[in-house]
Amino acid sequence: MRTTQSTITISKTKRPNHNGIRFYLEFNSSIERRKGISAGNVFAAFTCNGRNHDGGYDGVGAVFLYPNSPVASTGTSFGYQNSFRLKRISQTQARAIHPNLFYALDGMEAARSDKPITA
């Protein structure tokens, strides 16, 4: 009888993996998107909740138009998502571009898991 060993990889960082969330880089216009000039903000879409009544997603996004803006709960419409003002990016890229977003998301994760928030 042959047995196989499985290896478990443990991440050395304490960053939570945000499953069910898609990250989109925001652009101020479709012209700036074509030129590759981003707004410096990321929208986190809660895809695990399904689409809202407009066909878009609820999520967390930037409040102002300057880079790394404070964030608040918001939503997108289907039209906004398809207006070429959003580009899907990875969580790692989103974390580097918009740290304030992850300050809020990581805080939500800690509150949801009943773990104390440590600095």
pTM of the model: 0.72
Averaged pLDDT score across all residues of the chain = 79
For residue range 92-104, list pLDDT tens digits in order.
999 999 999 998 8
- 32-41, 48-57, 65-74, range with the lowest pLDDT: 48-57
First-to-final CA distance of the chain: 50
What is the pLDDT, as a whole number, of residue 11?
Answer: 41
The size of the chain, in residues, is 119
